[in-house]
Amino acid sequence: MEEEIDLRELIEVILRGKVIIAVITILAVLAAGIFSFFVMSPTYEATATLMVSPLSPNKLNVEEDSAYQALLDSLSRYPQLTMETYRAEVKNPVILKELISDMKLDSEKYTISSLTNAITVEAVQDTNLVRIKVKNTDPALAAEISNKLSQKFVAFISKTTKEQLGKSAEFIKQQLDQEKINLDTATTDIKEFLAKPRGVNELRQEIDSKITQMTNFKTQLVDLEVEGETITAAIGKTKEELANQPKTLVTEKSIMDDQLMEKIADETGNLSLDNISNLQLHSEEVNPIYLELSQTLANDTIKLSSISAQRNAIKERITEHQKQLEALQADLAEKEVTYEQFQRQVELSKENYNTFLEKYQESKVTQSAKIGEANIMVVSPAMIPEQPVSPNKKLNVAIAAVLGLMLSVFLVFFKNFWQNSASTDPNTKATNV
């Protein structure tokens, strides 16, 4: 048969043990009261409030800035200090060690570990306020530690930030010196290259000169071709005219028309005037037009031959100049590539040098700023607390009363259970008989 819990029976058990419950509860309350009022030392809490301005570097545009530029920007700017960073650095062991030394606190009682446990740092939500709370049995000492810790924290932030920026500035300065060497080297290289004979500019002038000469040659060639075509046409026309002209001309005339023949006839006296007039004289003469045309044809042929010779000479000179021009252009192309490489190296070295110089100047300005004092301000120094924060005497007594009551009720039920189990055990009854 299953046992059932009877509420009446439970109440009766509690009532039978009411004396035990009352005694234990009263003893617990008395013990808590004595311990809270007379044994425990009161603990005071002093609070200093700081207002900080989180330092976050501007977000770098990765699409526009290269990784190289992003690195330089990060080196020349303030380090990233968020509210969480400020809150965590308040308990920095370096700060606490300096605090113990400066305040000449007992090194056995006040250690870095004990101070860390006594200090509470909290960031007020939705604000840029940080509260530094210090607990100590001495209210004046608690306020002094809180204020001193605030000062040390500001100085520590300034010092560490300045050291970090100093290292960044030193790194940038080293790179700046190296870039200056690279720039000087690149400048010297391009000067030496330009100082060599048959440089880029000289080759360009030679090429321009060759092109001008070839243009003149081609112009002369065209003029000669036009002149040759004109003379060839003239030769053709002369040949046609010459073909239509006889080489000699045959003439018939009376002997009287020839004075010489007439004089001869008069001297002979054998011929009468009538007989002499009837006599005909046949003569053959060279055609002067034919001679003139032949001379013109010969002169034009000589001119055409001379023009042909000039054309061939000009063509040979054009071919020679073309080869020279191609060689000059190949040499120029090679030297232009080399010159562009030197020039690009100079521009790149100059750009890098100017970039490092700008970042170095930025880092020096940033380093000279007192970042701690500029971004951290004590808006409310710690005051000497008047009321302790612990122990909470009323709360301790109430907790002791509850715990005493629970313990006493447990003991009463345990005693009742023990008695009931002993009375139902046959071995126990036999022993009692």
Residue-wise pLDDT for 313-344, tens only, equals 999 999 998 998 898 888 889 888 988 998 89
pLDDT at 429: 44
Neighbours of 150 (CB within 10 A): 22
Assigned domain for 322 exists: no
Provide CB contacts within 8 A for 415, sequence distance 6+. 17, 20
Distance CA 377, CA 367 (A): 19
Structural domain including 53 reads: 14-165+371-415
Structure tokens at 32: 């808590």
pLDDT at 223: 92
pLDDT at 73: 56
DSSP state of 63: T
Give the best-scoring range by mean pLDDT among 63-67, 78-82, 280-284, 341-345: 341-345
DSSP code string of 262-304? HHHHHHH--S-HHHHHH-EEEEEEE-HHHHHHHHHHHHHHHHH
Residue 272 clears pLDDT 70, i.e. is over it: no
For the purposes of burial, counting CB atoms within 10 Å of the CB of 87, is it exposed (0-12), middle (13-18) or buried (19 or more)?
A: middle
Structure tokens at 411: 């003991």
DSSP percent split of the chain into helix, strand, coil, nearest 5: 70, 10, 20
Distance CA 330, CA 337 (A): 11
- Region 25-46: mean pLDDT is 81
Residue 216 clears pLDDT 90, i.e. is over it: yes
| Residue pair 134/145 in contact by the 8 Å Cβ criterion | yes
- Percent of the chain residues past pLDDT 70, beyond the cut: 79
SS3 per-residue string spanning 159-221: HHHHHHHHHHHHHHHHHHHHHHHHHHHHHHHHHHHHHCCCCHHHHHHHHHHHHHHHHHHHHHH
Kindly state the helix (H) or strand (E) to which residue 249 belongs, with its residue range: strand 248-254
DSSP state of 37: I
How many domains does one find in the chain?
1
Assigned domain for 275 exists: no
Tell me the per-residue pLDDT of 387-421, one tens digit each, with 9 for 90 and over: 887 777 778 788 888 998 899 888 888 888 888 88
- Distance from first CA to last CA of the chain, Å, rounded? 28
Assigned domain for 279 exists: no
Assigned domain for 117 exists: yes
Distance CA 209, CA 214 (A): 9
Give the best-scoring range by mean pLDDT among 52-61, 271-280, 408-417: 408-417
- Region 143-165: mean pLDDT is 85
Give the confidence band of 211 by pLDDT, cuts at 50, 70, 90.
very high
pLDDT at 431: 42
Provide CB contacts within 8 A for 35, sequence distance 6+. 396
Distance CA 163, CA 154 (A): 14
pLDDT at 203: 85
Provide CB contacts within 8 A for 291, sequence distance 6+. none
Angle at which helix 7-16 crosses helix 18-34, to 10 degrees, equals 60
Tell me the per-residue pLDDT of 179-188, one tens digit each, with 9 for 90 and over: 899 989 989 9
Q: Which residues of 171-188 are buried (b: 16+ CB within 10 A; e: fewer)?
A: ebeebbeebeebbeebee
Distance CA 413, CA 82 (A): 58
Residue 294 clears pLDDT 50, i.e. is over it: yes
Q: What are phi and psi of 48, to 5 degrees?
A: -110, 135
| Residue pair 287/250 in contact by the 8 Å Cβ criterion | no
Range scoring the smallest mean pLDDT among 62-66, 113-117, 401-405: 62-66
Question: In 3D, which of 175, 35, 184, 140 has the Cα closest to residue 382?
Answer: 140
